[in-house]
Amino acid sequence: MIGEKRIFGLVALALGLVAGVLILLDVQASRNVDLVTVIAGIGVLYGSYLIYRGKTSILFGWGKTRLGALLNLAIGVLTLMIPGGAGGPASILAILSGILGFLSA
């Protein structure tokens, strides 16, 4: 039986992976490479990894989960607010991933 916190962590991982891939696909679709958007996409992917790794870690798992959730939440808000950033559905998915990551911590 999987606990509800672990389910929140897995859903946060899935949403973060989709958000990170969408941000990186946005970079690929544009003709010029924006380094900030690439770093944001990789940051969301890493935050999602930390959320998942924190849920499976024996030692200091809650810290990894909270750090990953904070990373996804911050990157989601920043890409939503910065003009010309990734914005849109990818940022909203990253924000949701951060919120669910905090719920799973």
Residues 98, 7: Cα–Cα separation, whole Å: 14
Per-domain residue ranges for the chain? 4-104
Kindly indicate the confidence band of residue 56, based on its pLDDT and cuts at 50, 70 and 90: low
Cβ(68)–Cβ(54) under 8 Å? yes
Q: What is the pTM of this model?
A: 0.86
Kindly indicate the confidence band of residue 30, based on its pLDDT and cuts at 50, 70 and 90: confident
In tens, the pLDDT along 2-29 reads 677 888 888 999 999 999 999 888 888 7
In tens, the pLDDT along 79-97 reads 888 876 677 889 999 999 9
